[in-house]
Structure 1
Amino acid sequence: MHSRLVPLAPLIPEDRLCLLLAQGQLSQSALEEALGLLAGPLQWDLILERAKAHEVYPLVYWNLKNVGFPGVPESARRELESRFRMNALRNSLCAQELAHLLRALHNAGIPAIPLKGLLLAELLYGDITLRVCGDMDILVPRRSVLRAFDLLVTRGYVAQSPRWFLAERRLRNNFECALSRSDGSLEYTIELHWGVLVEAADDDGSMMALWAEAREKNVLGAPAYNLSLEGQLLLLAAHAARHNWQGLKWLVDIHVLCHELCRRQDLAWDRVSILAHKLGWEQLVQWSLSACHQLLDTPLPPGFREELPPARRNLYPAAPTLPTPFESALLFLRLAKRPSEKLRVLLRRLLIPTPADGTICRLPSSLKFLYYVIRPFRLGWTLGSSPRQAGGLRKGRGAFGMRRDEAG
């Protein structure tokens, strides 16, 4: 089968060890292989570099600690421990903040689903300290976006773009808005979502099917809504696709969910297929699971047809690089089923301003009509000059209003 994803080359011992230690609870065979690698000579600077770039150092530290750090130099152990403790403290504070926000949204009558980040750490690893979580993602219904936005502002959060950017037409051309609040040395960042991907539909689109899967549940001790296990898997598949299947952290999330839940026979693959069809994400699921299987030998459902993603990127151990604006737009176009839908998505991306436009170029509300004039020129300039960053999952905004990357 033809694929433009570069096949995984044989890994050097350092990359193989990092890959093994990043997979959560180690199987007996993985443990034996890891111990064998730890018994040999290793370049620990390279292992630390990989763990930091792919944001898997909490799991690397945790697994090394469980086996007693055999063969690990003291300097490497100290650095991993320091990073682990800093991440644990940050995640604990973010968990408290997220719980406060979920309670506030609940009291205001705004349904909310916490996404990725801390929720995944608790769901997949049973410990919020074992995953790097750069921000807090909350999904609300599109009809509740402005109310949720105003609630966050009253709690001290500052938006990166003006409130009027969240008018209905602009909601259709984007799916998230960033707000932040500083508290001493820690900055809390909220990604307020009303969608997961840009879609052709004028209404809530695939989110209607996703909300139908959500059930009321206490999350981090606060009342909220939570997705089914199948919904979590599809959300992770879509998130991995947005980032060209780079970043080991996100692929490991999918791997752990599939492996552990398949082992416990809790995941119904037929329900995954049905929900993927409702969302229109069948291709995303196929690509994401195939990429995970190639890299991590992720278990696949019976009869699954592998098809690697149409991405011109290396998987791990290559350092994560940011998707270009063209790649981001191309993903949305691939998801559109009919030519009319593809045209609608393309015109929206080209002509309708997004919160990113308000972040980069701030104009008074009396001149907001100029954003419609500026946007095509800004996109053209960004497409011609957008640099790719490597060496970690850094913050930023792409030209099409997408976050260029995220640590959630």
Structure 2
Amino acid sequence: MNQSYGLDLDKLPGELTAMLEALRSGSAGRANAANGAGGSGQPQDRLPQHIPASDSGVLQRASASPLPHIDWNQFMKLARHHRVYPQIHAEAGGGLIPSDVLQALAGDCRRNTWRMLALGGELDRVCRSLAERGVRSLALKGPALAQLLYGDVSLRTSKDLDILIPVADLELTERLLQKLGYAADDPIPRGLGDWKWKIHHVAFTHPGTGIQIEVHWRLNGDIGKEPSFETLWNARQPSALSSAVHMPGDDHLFMYLVTHGARHGWFRLRWLADIDRMVRRGQDWAALVPLLRRYHALDQAGQALVLAAALLHTPIPRALQPRLSAGRGPVLAARALGFIADAVVLTTDPGAGDVSKDYKRYLFELKTTGQKWRYALTRLYPSFRDAKAVPLPKSLYFLYFPLRPFVWLWRQVRQQA
């Protein structure tokens, strides 16, 4: 039985409801395996990576009576905004989606296939080059995640490549990427030293191919507690994409995906579709729950599972259902549901107006009480952004401490302007 956990789904636009119907795998029978595994605490049986459209019970039932009053142009816009058109096209069966819409989706899917193949080849090249120079790397999302969860890189979209490295290897990685033709989008702000924990990645773009690589030294920003690179590397898993590519183990990967999605307010359903796949393919919940608790990610996991259960009919293990009802997951899920329904792109850029203000409030609500206190204390420490706004010689960097309130105010005024 699917649960909404108090989420109000009645106000969702019809086009979004239709898109969710097209996304659902319809594997109601498979949910029993997930629920049963949750009770025993053992990993669930692995499910097929790709569920054919003919096996999609939801879509077969929907094919008898196509959804009425759907603006299919808006449906296409939503599918592109949420980056789920490959899954919709792969799962769409008789009559739910008109043939001309399916044809447009097919065109998007062809372009995505070429894009993902190019990203996969470049991920192999970069990871192999790093390994040859002794730099260990973990692929976080992109084609490696598509291959793992969907069994086919074309069944997921990706804007860029994300790799995680030890922070000590950042300079070496930067030099290597430059040799491979990449240029940093922005200089790494090394001046005050706070960049290591106030930001968690830097981006490099290849001017010839347009491919962007985000090099991470932390899974997430904002000083949250997280596993060390050594811990992640020791629990790594190989990628079927290439012998040179490794990924975090399933438990760490699940934790990363729920914290990443939560940090972005789940404004793209692509991230929630990944959670649905991870749950259906099987997780060792007995090992995962203590891991989530240790790194203060239980609320984010609860949020993700509440949203996935309500929107994608993801089968939630019985052992987790009481945790979802008792924690902050439903409240955080309700906040994110607004971002999903409004199809907004969340940003902290002051130029985004109310969207930026709502997103900043949401990010603060996402933190635990302890994280809120730590966040407040870090605001007292000078930022690399202060040095960018008011440049001083390195010998005078100590002045950024007493000047911090005034420089911060000056930065806010400039941003508003």
Shift of 1:329: 7.8
Equivalent residue number for residue 156 of structure 1: 181
Once residues 104 and 114 of structure 1 are traced to their aligned partners in structure 2, the CA distance between those partners, rounded to angstroms, is 14
* Corresponding residue of 2:66: 38
Structure 1 Cα separation of the partners of residues 372 and 70 of structure 2: 53
Tell me the CA shift for residue 105 of structure 1. 0.9
Distance in 1 (alpha carbons) for counterparts of 2:384 and 2:156: 34
User: Which residue in the other structure is 1:214 paired with?
Assistant: 235
Corresponding position: 1:52 with 2:80: yes
1:280-313: CA deviation from partner (whole Å, max 9, x where unpaired): 2222212222222222222223243223243375
**Which residue does 1:352 correspond to in 2?**
383
1:357 touches 1:375 (CA, 8 Å); kept in 2? no
Aligned-partner SS, 2:338: coil
The amino acid across from 1:72 in the alignment is P
Q: Look up the match of 1:63.
A: 91
TM-score by length of 2: 0.75
Pair 1:247 & 2:268 matched:
yes
Q: 1:212–1:105: structure 2 CA closer, same or farther, 3 Å change rule?
A: closer
- Offset of 1:39 from its aligned partner? 7.3
Does the 8 Å CA contact 1:255/1:296 hold for their aligned counterparts?
Answer: yes
The one-letter amino acid of 2:215's match is L
User: Are residues 209 and 383 of structure 1, via their aligned partners in 2, closer, same or farther at CA, if it must alter by over 3 Å?
Assistant: farther
On the 8 A contact 1:174/1:198 being kept in 2, the answer is yes
Map of 1:9-408 to 2, 5 A cutoff? 9=10, 11=12, 14-23=15-24, 25=51, 28-38=56-66, 42-64=70-92, 67=93, 72-74=98-100, 76-163=101-188, 165=190, 168-183=193-208, 186-200=209-223, 205-208=226-229, 211=232, 214-215=235-236, 217-218=238-239, 220-258=241-279, 260-261=280-281, 266-304=282-320, 305-306=323-324, 307-310=329-332, 311=335, 314=338, 316-324=340-348, 327-328=359-360, 331=363, 334-335=367-368, 337=370, 341-348=374-381, 351-353=382-384, 376-377=408-409, 380-381=412-413
Distance 1:278 1:57, change over 3 A: same
Query: Shift of residue 337 of structure 1?
Result: 2.5
Change (3 A) 1:375 1:158: farther
Q: Which amino acid aligns with 1:353?
A: F
Question: 1:400 maps to which residue?
Answer: none
Matched position secondary structure for 2:289: helix
Aligned-residue identity in percent: 23
- Cα gap change, 1:188 to 1:71, in 2 (>3 Å): closer
Letter in 2 for 1:249: R
Q: CA deviation at 1:193?
A: 0.5
SS in 2 for 1:86: helix
**What TM-score, normalized to structure 1?**
0.77
Per the alignment, residue 398 of structure 1 pairs with none
Q: How many corresponding residue pairs? A: 366
- SS in structure 2 of the partner of residue 21 of structure 1: helix
SS state at 1:292 partner:
helix
Structure 2 residue runs of 5 or longer lacking an equivalent are 1-5, 26-50, 349-355
Deviation at 1:29, TM superposition (A): 2.8
Partner-residue secondary structure (3-state), 2:342 = coil
Q: Deviations over 1:161-186 (max 9, x none)?
A: 22453874311211010110022xx3
C-alpha distance in structure 2 between counterparts of 1:209 and 1:308, whole Å = 33
Per-residue deviation, 1:150: 1.8
* Aligned mates of 1:181, 1:362 — CA distance in 2: 31
Distance (whole Å) between structure 2 residues aligned to residue 236 and residue 309 of structure 1: 19
Task: Quote the Cα distance in structure 1 between the aligned partners of 2:62 and 2:107.
Answer: 22
1:317 positional shift: 3.7
Unmatched 5+ stretches in structure 1: 386-408
Q: What secondary structure is seen at the aligned counterpart in 1 of 2:135?
A: coil
Tell me, in whole angstroms, the C-alpha distance in 2 between the residues paired with 1:148 and 1:15.
Answer: 42
Report the Cα distance in structure 2 between the residues aligned to 1:363 and 1:153, rounded to whole angstroms.
Answer: 27
Aligned-pair distance for 1:124? 1.3
d(CA) in 2 for partners of 1:69, 1:101:
43
Counterpart Cα distance in 1 of 2:414 and 2:265: 19
SS in 1 for 2:211: strand
2-side partners of 1:176 and 1:345: how far apart?
19
Instruction: Choose 1 or 2 for highest CA Rg.
Output: 2
Residue type of the partner of 1:108?
R
Deviation of residue 15 (structure 1)?
2.7
Task: Tell me the amino acid that sits aligned with residue 121 of structure 2.
Answer: Q
Alpha-carbon shift at residue 244 of structure 1 (Å): 1.3
